[in-house]
Every structure is written in C-alpha cells, then in structure tokens.
A and B are shown apart, each in its own frame.
Chain A
C-alpha cells in the first residue's frame, strides 16, 4: 500500500457557514447571494469529511461524483487535482454546486448528517469550480480524440444538450448545437436568475465548448426552421434536449388579465431580455407594487426573489400545501424568507380579479387544510369552504411547472411520445423510437433538475457514439 499522508480532521458538528450578502443589501442588486468559501473555510470544511469506505454520499449523486476523493484532495490543498476529480463525472460543477438540491442528494446521505450537519458538499463543489474559474487555467483540450468524420446535431442548449455536446466533441465528432432562442443555456440562461447563477459562469462554459469546436446555431427552431427528419439527413446522430417549456396555468377565471404572467414569461423578460434594466434594455415588465407568486418550487422562489429586487411594496408567495412539502431547494426557501417574502401557505387562488382596463387588482384565495396522504405520499390539500378572501395585488406570477412543448414532436409522427408529451426513450441508452435519435433532460422526465439533465446528456452521448461507430443501436447494457 502506498504511503498515506496523515489526514487532519475537523470535528465541528455544523457546516462551515458561507458568507452571504446581507438581505437588506442584496434585494437592491442582482449579484450573487452566497459569496463562496475562502480557501481556509473550504479546507476546514473538507476536513470534516470522514472518508467513509461505504461512500454513502456518492449513492445520492445522480452522476456519481467521486465525493470523498474530491474532499480529500481539497483538504490536502491539491486544488487542481480536486477539480479534475469532479470534472471526471460532472461537466458543469460551478453550476451544479450552486443549483443542485444537495439536501436531497449527496448531503442527504452523508454520515455526518445523522448527528449534526452533513459536509457542505455542494459548497465545496462550488468552491473548487470557482477556484478553477478564477485561476483561469487555460485548459487546452488536447484530450479530444482524433476526428471520426461523424456529424451530430444537438437540439436545445440546456444542460442536457451542453453535456452531450461536450462529451461528443471530446470523442472526436463534429458537433452542431441548434437553439431556438438567441442565447444558449436553456433554463440556465432564461430561467435561473443572476443572483443564483451568474451568467458569467455559464457563458464561460459555453465559450469553452465553442473553443473546442462546437458550433452553435442560435435562432434555430427545430420543427419550424428545419424538421427533425431533415436534420436526420444531414447528421449521423441526433440528441434532443429541448426541455419542458410549456407553462401551466391555473385554469381559473381571470387568467388572461394584464399582469398575470407565467413564471416562464416573467423570468424570460427579466433574465433573458434584461427587463429589470428598462429602459436601457427595451423589453418591459410590469409587476407593479404588490406581487403574488403562486407555487413553491425553484421557479416560484426565483420569481419571488427576483420580484423582491424590483423595489416592490410586497411580494407574497401562495402555496396550497404546507412548508414541509415545498419542493424548492431549502437554501432558496431560506433566502426567500430572509429577503422578506411573505409566505401564504395552505392557500390556493380560485379567481383573479381585475378592473375595467383588464388589469389585475387582486386574487381570491381559499384556505386549505391537509387531509389524507395522496398517491405521492404527501397529504392532500383540501379546500376549506367559506374561507375565501381577496388579496389585493397588481400582478400574479404563476409558477406551477411546465410540461414538454409539443412544437417539435408533433411534426414527427415516428417519434414516440407519452401521454404527458414527454419523449419515450430506452432508459439505459436514451435512444428514442427512431434509431440514432436520442433524447434526455426535461423533455424525457418532465421538469426535473440540472444534474439529471446532465446525466442524461452524458448517457446519450455514449449511446450516440456507439451508434455512429458501429452503425447499430446501443444495447441496453452500454
């Protein structure tokens, strides 16, 4: 056995706190809220890891990041080593460290969590990725394989598409990414706000891909500008990562009043179009002084928190279940509360009311109580009769979730889709009903997470490589 350095352990029971902008300051800017660990904080946090042989944390990670090894390398101060360790399995660590729901993944399984707080794995992942970002290591990708002469098309430039693009270009294929919007990144660009994921980080990853030869075609709607069938003639294999972009509405009266936004529209106006900077940026947004956000997922938290930065009188978040059921990352819920967002839990909107100009003036809410658990295991919210009242407001942002956009699939009869409009794939190879066409990310799972989309992109890249090199569909055990 090789000689092992003696490890230093830190017995602290709680996570090393991460410095943050104070709530009263951050609601007046769009800068990132958590500021990241210093070297010292990172090292002492990494020294909390026990280096468990059974590696429970890894079982919680959808892409099997080698967490104990990464932590040990950080604890030893080998930052380049730690960075390449993460990069082995996670293509976008700077992004995942910021947006993954770690409390449901790696950190949930961490041994230390049984008697205190888990290791701050997400924070350390972010730290190590930021270290690389700041060190600006010009990582010349000499690792990429010789050209195979094969061409692949990636439809959609969200995390699924970018990951597949990255893997495929490394394998020596010619990669073309087609994106409907004018900026690449998918939800990472138009959905998740700057204060949670600085665009700089995303842009850097995308520029990195462009540097190693990935071609980006913006303003290209597959299904409209060119159909999938036509793409199949031009490319040897195709990956579909178009996300779940069709917003759900409440289906209650008054939903077409002015001032009712889907969270997609609201966040797109602000993040993608820069509406918070009107009139420097031309796109307007009109949330008014009193904003109601409906929902409790990440999208709802982002909508509420971005609203709080527009200098409103009040931002209220309405959710029909209780706090325990809120699906957003714990950190975002905490941040939202700190920033002064009012939570109206166990309430549901039943009507949106407006004035003679067709503008929102309020939302009628009904109280809910929790009944028996439903199929999802969560207690079903039941309306309390006669508890209706009107909450005055100027805008309502509906953040209930999204389903896949049928724009592309509906013109491809050969592509099998489920009743929920998701694309049906072989779950092991990610191949669709059309040989050589693969899919992954939210288009397959419905709205999920960045890391799952990345994992799917990676899996599909493997299958596509197999398909192109052998001419046959990958077997289930690839």
Chain B
C-alpha cells in the first residue's frame, strides 16, 4: 500500500504492469505480411508515450497558446492599507467597464493556484482599473500580496454576481467590518450617487487594522468608527453603534447593508430584525467557478438553497442561515492552513538561502 497517495501521484512514474499473456497472444496473431515491414511493432513505445503524456502536460499552462489574448492582468498600483491588507489596482478594461457595486471577481495567482473570489472595491473605467482589497489569510492571498506593481495576476474574471440593488430609499446605513470595509466603500459611492442619506459604521479590531476611513468618510453624511479594543473611535462593536442609530427618534432608517466577518453580519441582522428594517448582507462563501456551475457556494436563504455566486452575493440578511455559512467556511481550514504554512516556510527558506549567498 502507498502511505500517502499524493506522493505517489506527484513524484515518480507509476509502474504499469501489463497483462503479459494478453500482450503475447495478441502479438502472435497472424497479420498481413507487408504491413510488418511498413509498420514496426510499436507496442512498448506506445505504452511509454501514454505515460509520458500524462506526466508532462496535464496542467501545463495553456497560456502558451499563441492565440491567447493576454498573458495576465497587470497590477498598476499596490498600496498597503494596513498590516496584511493590500489594495491593488488591476488593469482589466472589460471588467472595469461593466462592474457595479457589490459584484466580485475571481482570480488565480499562479498556474497551480486556487480560484478565490474578491468583491470589487472600486472601478475606474476611464483608466481600465479594477480595485480590489486583499487581506492575507491563506496561501492564495499570501501569493497575491507578494506581487508587485508591474507584475501580473494570471487569471482575473468578472464581474460576477448580482450588483447591489441601489435606489433612492431615503436613509441607508452601511455597516462594514475588517476588509469588508473595502466593499462598503463601493456601496457608499453607489448609494450616494442615487441620492440617499448615508450613515456608515465601520469597525476593526484595532486602530492599525482600520482601512479606508477617509475615503468612506468623505462620501458619507455621517461616519461612525468602532474598534474592539477602543484604540480608535468608539470602543465596542459595530452592532452597538447600529442599535443607537436605529433608536434615534429623528431618523428613519430605510435600509441597512452589511459586509464583513460572518459573525458580524449575523449580529447586524439580529440587531435590525426587531426594527423591521430591510437588511442586505453580502456573503462570502467558498467558490470555485463563480458562474453557477458547481454549487460550492451554496447558502441557505429562507430555507431554500441558493448559489451565492449567481443568486447573490447579497441576500436578505434576516433569512440567511449564517451558522451554516460559518460551518461551510471552515470545512477546509486544516488544509488551507497546511498550504499557507508551506508557502510561508518556503518563503523563509528562500530568504535564508538568499542571505547565505550574500
């Protein structure tokens, strides 16, 4: 038995035992004589070839195709917003022209990489720019955050999902947490343009991790910042600030939109429910294709299965089964940690080597 099947697949050529008897009988069968001269027995060669084919080219990048339109998507700007949080301006003209607030892209950094979804933070169609904000959480985001201006992201596809439904409803509260604030930025732009009064509540664990405060503040009519540890803004959770806004006598909140950690969105939904304020949450389940083809992104909304990539990513927060979403998000945690660790160790090893050389 092979201990670890993965090793067997990745390292050496597996041995193929042919049914010798069968081959022998087949080879002795009478054939039309002149053929023997024209076509040599090529049996072994054929078998060997099959093996070699399989080994070399299963996942060779097809970007080698001469007809491929582009090799990748260029990073025009990279800006570190907070420790482990990076903003990228990516050159993607078609997506920039099409994307609306709330939609996302799927990217892949390298040819053995994973496809991950990231919500679009901003677009500047005139400059062909799609802005994404990435928090380093695992292997793919680790690789991504190590790309620099001028380098390319291998695959970048979108805009996917339904845009946020934006109309003039009156007063809108946008509640964001952590890297979700990048999407709040996209949403406030949309809601403002539609003529709404905007109250933004953005939170972070600590001051250092707070992103895009100025950008969001500049567009919002009112900005409330919270940090868990009180190192900046109000101490406490976004839900506490939200509740106060909902309790205001002189303010009628028509809609709440929220994006951030699942647990935060769950409690935002719990907070607004008693007030009967329509609440949209932008969900971030695991995805593969992002076009409705696989169902990896299944979420339960109002007791029904929905595909977040095509039916969402925004859903009625009062109907979303957040606990299920949380459980689905951690399913691969151990494997994700393993590949993240590997990537970091590899990086360390390379840096050490570089130092030794110096």
Binding site for B on A (CB under 8 A): 8, 16-17, 19-22, 25, 28-32, 35-36, 38-41, 43-44, 47, 75-77, 79, 130, 134, 180-184, 194, 198-201, 203, 206-207, 209-211, 213-221, 224-226, 245-247, 249, 255-256, 258-259, 261-262, 264-265, 268-269, 273-274, 276-284, 286, 309-311, 357-359, 405-407
Task: Determine whether B353 belongs to the interface, using a CB cutoff of 8 Å to chain A.
Answer: no
B158 touches A225 (CB 8 A): yes
Q: Which of B268-294 contact A (CB under 8 A)?
A: 288-289, 291-294
Binding site for A on B (CB under 8 A): 2, 5-6, 8-10, 14-19, 22-23, 26-27, 29-32, 34-35, 38-43, 45-47, 49-51, 53-54, 56-60, 62-69, 94-95, 98, 108, 112-115, 139-140, 154-160, 288-289, 291-296, 298-300, 305, 310, 324, 327-328, 331-332, 335-336, 338-339, 342
Which of B2, B293, B305, B327 lies at the interface centre, i.e. has the most chain A CB atoms within 10 A of its CB?
A: B293
A225 touches B16 (CB 8 A): no
8 pairs, CB–CB < 8 Å, chain A vs chain B = A17-B26, A35-B50, A40-B41, A198-B53, A207-B64, A216-B68, A256-B328, A276-B6
| Chain A residues positioned under 8 Å from B60 (CB to CB) | 203
A31 touches B14 (CB 8 A): yes
B339 touches A43 (CB 8 A): no
Shortest C-beta distance, A364 to chain B (Å), equals: 19
Which of A214, A258, A406 lies at the interface centre, i.e. has the most chain B CB atoms within 10 A of its CB?
A: A258
User: A interface, by DSSP: helix, strand, loop or mixed?
Assistant: loop
Task: Using CB atoms, name the residue of chain B closest to A265.
Answer: B294
B32 touches A282 (CB 8 A): no
| Chain B residues positioned under 8 Å from A32 (CB to CB) | 50, 54
Question: Which 3 A-B pairs give the minimum distances between C-beta atoms?
Answer: A358-B327, A265-B294, A311-B5
B305 touches A277 (CB 8 A): no
B294 touches A200 (CB 8 A): no
With A130-B46, A182-B155: A284-B332 Cβ-Cβ less than 8 Å: yes
Q: How far is the CA of A32 from the CA of B50 in the complex (A)?
A: 7
Q: Which of B35, B40, B49, B114 is A273 in contact with, Cβ under 8 Å?
A: B114
Shortest C-beta distance, A170 to chain B (Å), equals: 15
Shortest C-beta distance, B60 to chain A (Å), equals: 7
Q: How far is the CA of A33 from the CA of B305 in the complex (A)?
A: 38
B331 touches A286 (CB 8 A): yes
Task: Using CB atoms, name the residue of chain B closest to A78.
Answer: B38
Q: How far is the CA of A311 from the CA of B51 in the complex (A)?
A: 21
Q: How far is the CA of A279 from the CA of B53 in the complex (A)?
A: 22
Task: Using CB atoms, name the residue of chain A closest to B63.
Answer: A218
| Chain A residues positioned under 8 Å from B62 (CB to CB) | 183-184, 203, 206, 216, 218
Q: Which of B51, B156, B324 is A31 in contact with, Cβ under 8 Å?
A: B51
A79 touches B39 (CB 8 A): yes
A180 touches B289 (CB 8 A): yes
Q: How far is the CA of A130 from the CA of B49 in the complex (A)?
A: 10
With A30-B9, A226-B94: A206-B328 Cβ-Cβ less than 8 Å: no
Q: How far is the CA of A218 from the CA of B39 in the complex (A)?
A: 41
A207 touches B65 (CB 8 A): yes
Task: Using CB atoms, name the residue of chain A closest to B67.
Answer: A210
With A211-B66, A221-B157, A224-B160: A282-B6 Cβ-Cβ less than 8 Å: no
With A245-B293, A286-B332: A30-B112 Cβ-Cβ less than 8 Å: no
Shortest C-beta distance, A81 to chain B (Å), equals: 12
Q: Which of A220, A258, A310 is B157 in contact with, Cβ under 8 Å?
A: A220
Shortest C-beta distance, B178 to chain A (Å), equals: 23
Task: Using CB atoms, name the residue of chain B closest to A266.
Answer: B294
With A22-B19, A405-B291: A284-B335 Cβ-Cβ less than 8 Å: yes
With A203-B60, A216-B65: A31-B54 Cβ-Cβ less than 8 Å: yes
Q: Which of A41, A214, A281 is B59 in contact with, Cβ under 8 Å?
A: A281
Shortest C-beta distance, A120 to chain B (Å), equals: 12
